[in-house]
Amino acid sequence: MGPEFTLIAGPCVIESESLCLRVAAHLAELREQLKIQVVFKASFDKANRTSGSSFRGPGLDQGLRVLERVRQASGLPVLTDVHEGHQAEPVAEVVDVLQVPAFLCRQTDLVQSCGSAAKKHARTVNVKKGQFLAASDMAAVRDKLVQAGAASIWFTERGTSFGYHDLVVDFRNLPRLRELGCPVILDATHAVQQPGALGGSSGGQPDFIEPLAAAGAAVGINGLFLEVHPEPKRGLSDATTMLPLERLRPLIQRVLRIREVINAA
């Protein structure tokens, strides 16, 4: 990731190729209009769903085919989650950024597999900071990746567990994560999630996405992670926390203006 602002955005899960292509086309247009770095994201498998009956995605093989199609059609780099060590190599053959989910960020074999695959294919590894970790704990994750050969590492803050069914973003974590020498992303959509609040699924408070993103820009971040969807309420995963696609551009414009003021100061 360069010094410019980076947006990581896309639907929570690959619902269909047509949806992914539609969102990616919107993101590619946004990239050209705002002159920012944009990475398309979508998961081929949501292995950490609250309920075993929830939609998880198309799986590894079909999911990678969709992501490769998105990459070719839009010209955008792509990102997806890796849940098991054996997935790292085939994922790295297709995507630009391998993501380690927050719940799995301390799984040594997974982290090292992603690091090794990233080294082999010159990819980036984005690690979501666990909801149960202090920022300083991510130094050990960084070290595992460096030892495995990863040269490009990003860290994403997505909130800290605050009792049951709630998350809170401690903005002190942003400068603390920067001290570890890796670009820092703020995930402003998962940060408003209320895990398990609806019994069989997670709730959310999407009205707080924009205030959190603005606050992150004021504190200083290298980029934003936002799950977006044309119709979030009809989404098959994280329907309560995805940002409506139509609200993405004004939000990013606001964030960029804040960054300009902070950088000028």
Residue 5: the pLDDT is 94
Domains and CATH numbers, the chain: 6-264 (3.20.20.70)
Instruction: Answer yes or no: is pLDDT of 2 > 50.
Output: no
pLDDT in tens, 205-244: 889 999 999 999 999 999 999 999 999 999 998 889 999 9
Closest CA to 158 of 114, 221, 96: 221
Half-sphere exposure of 43 (CA within 13 A, CB side): 21
Helix (H) or strand (E) holding 242: none
The predicted model gives 72-84 an average pLDDT of: 98
Residue 52: the pLDDT is 72
What percent of the residues of the chain are helix, what percent strand, and what percent coil, each to the nearest 5?
45, 20, 35
In order of 9, 28, 88, 145, 224, the CA distances from 124 in angstroms are: 16, 20, 12, 10, 16
Residues 82-116 as b/e (b if ≥16 CB within 10 A, e otherwise) read bbebebbeebbebbbbbbbbbebbbbeebbbbbbb
Amino acid at 129: K
Task: For the chain, give the number of residues.
Answer: 265
| % of the chain with per-residue pLDDT over 90 | 85
CA 252/CA 247 separation, integer angstroms: 9
Note whether 212 and 250 are within 8 A (CB). no
Half-sphere exposure of 66 (CA within 13 A, CB side): 28
Instruction: Answer yes or no: is pLDDT of 264 > 90.
Output: no
pLDDT in tens, 147-158: 999 999 999 999
Residue 248: the pLDDT is 98
Q: What is the DSSP letter of 13?
A: B
Average pLDDT in the chain:
94
Closest CA to 97 of 256, 225, 252, 220: 225
Amino acid at 131: Q
Rg, the chain, Cα only? 17
pLDDT in tens, 161-202: 998 989 999 999 999 999 999 999 999 999 999 887 666 666
Instruction: Answer yes or no: is pLDDT of 54 > 70.
Output: yes
The bridge status of strand 223-229 relative to strand 184-187 is parallel
pLDDT in tens, 55-72: 888 999 999 999 999 999
